[in-house]
Amino acid sequence: METNFVLEQPAYKTSTFQFLWKVFRNPLQALSDLANEQGDIARVKLRRRDLFLLNHPSFIEEVLVKQADNFIKGPSLQRARAILGGGLLTSEGDEHLSQRRALQPAFHRHKMEEYLPLMNENTLAHIANWKNGERVDMSEGMMRLTLNIALWSFFGSAPEGAVGKVSDAMKTLVRLFPLAQMPLPESARSLFPSFKEAKASLSGVIEALLQNPQNDRALIHILKESRQFTDEQVRAHALTFLLAGHETTALLLAWCWDLLAHHPGAQTKLQTEADAILGDCLPAPEDLEKLVYARAVVKETLRMRPPAWAMGREAAQDCEIGGQFIPAGSTVILSQWVTHHDSRFYDEPLLFRPERWFDFEMPLTPRYSYFPFGGGSRVCIGEHFAMTEAAAILAVVARRWNIAPAQREPALPKPSVTLRPDKNVKVVIARRAVS
């Protein structure tokens, strides 16, 4: 039988035990070391299947775009159903496609015009309580701010106590995420009362949001009017957008403030731009294109501290990528952390240099050397929302406040379900004397 596959597999170059030990101790270093040892395609033998780490943009494109039908979400994400139910993040195949088509209009680029005023208002309300010279916890603060924005944008209100309940539940779920990852029956998970309580608390918030008669936002309109969604799916989607719609953006912003606090030169450029473009106004949709430096700060932060630091897929059938045979059932890992730090695509990848994103500096970078929002048909549906929100918040805050580090060293990245700072980002704020 003719085949293009290289059926004679080369010997495994990395010891399974060593790799797993490194993953246990430091997953980011483990993936970087694997890429350094083996190059664009790394392979490790696991108990029942092989694991492949693909490190070249064209191989990443194969998985996310060209052979996307053959790569289903890894079992770990399927297990995230234990938290999210059958929402957009966890569905597959035709079901995913039809859900995505139905929900897409709520996230179209032109919809940002509706969301931007809510982002601005919430940001102003958030910083209204700041006092000159005080120490501010940006990790906590950005979590609350983006959660309020998600509540107003997707559900049209922020009911009393909702922000506190969702933040508390999120903390519990992030702490217990490894439990959700284990292939346990639902009944076993229920043995952990805090897991059960966090889920019940979130369900209560979702119920209140869905019952609110004034809830006229585009997302809810689609969920309620489209006949394709069962009641259970409506709740699963609402929960997915509430959680996915604030947590990653909050982390991105906390990382932005950490990097800006430790790079005062970049902060000054951000402020100069915000002064010139915004003056006494809040960002309007047409300003976003002009906030070139703010967007470059966001992009550079997503490169250096990608909240989604690795994505897993499973090969449904035997296939081939870059001459490498990938057997059905193999786990394939694509890592934003590894690729975004690859010196073939980024000069001095460890340096925070927003200017590298100016068009003239970066004309020929391969498409998938940068994929903070994933790619292909499963690319993040909230990409425009998150980019708009982050750039607007940076500009509004930078126009009014100076941010200095309250900690001597920048935070270190700590990979969990998302890439979090190892300690909360704290800054000291000083009111700017702006004309």
Report, in Å, the least distance between residue 385 CB and ligand HEM.
4
Please report how many Cα atoms fall inside a 13 Å half-sphere around the Cα of residue 61, on the Cβ side: 9
Site for ligand HEM in 293-322 (CB under 6 A): 307-308, 311
Structure tokens at 377: 């048909």
Binding mask 333-362 for ligand HEM (x = CB under 6 A): ------------------------------
Q: Do 109 and 386 touch, CB atoms closer than 8 A?
A: no
Closest by CA to 142, choosing from 126, 160, 153, is: 126
**374 contacts ligand HEM (rule: CB under 6 A):** yes
Cα 275 from chain centroid? 29
Nearer to ligand HEM, 41 or 149 (CB): 149
Find the binder of ligand HEM among 35, 60, 63, 89 (CB under 6 A): 89
Report, in Å, the least distance between residue 66 CB and ligand HEM.
15
DSSP codes of every residue in 185-251: -HHHHTTSHHHHHHHHHHHHHHHHHHH-TT---HHHHHHHH-TT--HHHHHHHHHHHHHHTTHHHHH
Identify which range of 29-37, 278-286, 372-380, 399-407 contacts ligand HEM by CB under 6 A. 372-380
Nearer to ligand HEM, 179 or 417 (CB): 417
Identify which range of 189-197, 242-250, 317-325, 391-399 contacts ligand HEM by CB under 6 A. 242-250
Report, in Å, the least distance between residue 286 CB and ligand HEM.
22
- CA 148 to CA 317: how far, in whole Å? 43
Identify which range of 78-86, 221-229, 241-249, 398-406 contacts ligand HEM by CB under 6 A. 241-249
Place of tokens 């019952």: 211
Structure tokens at 260: 């800006």
Nearer to ligand HEM, 14 or 255 (CB): 255
Find the binder of ligand HEM among 115, 255, 337, 373 (CB under 6 A): 373
Identify which range of 132-140, 322-330, 344-352, 373-381 contacts ligand HEM by CB under 6 A. 373-381
Site for ligand HEM in 375-404 (CB under 6 A): 378, 380-382, 385-386
- CA 239 to CA 205: how far, in whole Å? 9
**370 contacts ligand HEM (rule: CB under 6 A):** no
Encode 105-130: b = buried (16+ Cβ within 10 Å), e = exposed: ebbeeebbeebbebbbebbeebbeee
- CA 403 to CA 362: how far, in whole Å? 29
Report, in Å, the least distance between residue 6 CB and ligand HEM.
27
Identify which range of 162-170, 179-187, 369-377, 422-430 contacts ligand HEM by CB under 6 A. 369-377
In terms of DSSP bridges, do strands 50-54 and 331-334 run parallel, antiparallel, or are they unpaired? parallel
Find the binder of ligand HEM among 115, 177, 195, 241 (CB under 6 A): 241
User: What's the DSSP call for residue 89?
Assistant: G
The residue of the chain with the least Cβ separation from ligand HEM equals: 382
**148 contacts ligand HEM (rule: CB under 6 A):** no
Closest by CA to 345, choosing from 313, 379, 371, is: 371
Site for ligand HEM in 33-52 (CB under 6 A): none
Cα–Cα distance list, 221 to 65, 91, 231, 259 (Å):
30, 21, 14, 39
Find the binder of ligand HEM among 31, 41, 60, 88 (CB under 6 A): 88
Nearer to ligand HEM, 54 or 311 (CB): 311
Report, in Å, the least distance between residue 111 CB and ligand HEM.
11
Cα–Cα distance list, 142 to 146, 167, 409 (Å):
6, 11, 20
Find the binder of ligand HEM among 252, 296, 338, 427 (CB under 6 A): 252
- CA 388 to CA 127: how far, in whole Å? 18
Q: Do 148 and 123 touch, CB atoms closer than 8 A?
A: no
- CA 51 to CA 186: how far, in whole Å? 27
Q: Do 41 and 322 touch, CB atoms closer than 8 A?
A: yes
Residues binding ligand HEM: number (CB under 6 A) = 22
Nearer to ligand HEM, 142 or 429 (CB): 142
Residues engaged in binding ligand HEM (CB under 6 A): 88-89, 100, 240-241, 244-245, 248-249, 252, 307-308, 311, 372-374, 378, 380-382, 385-386
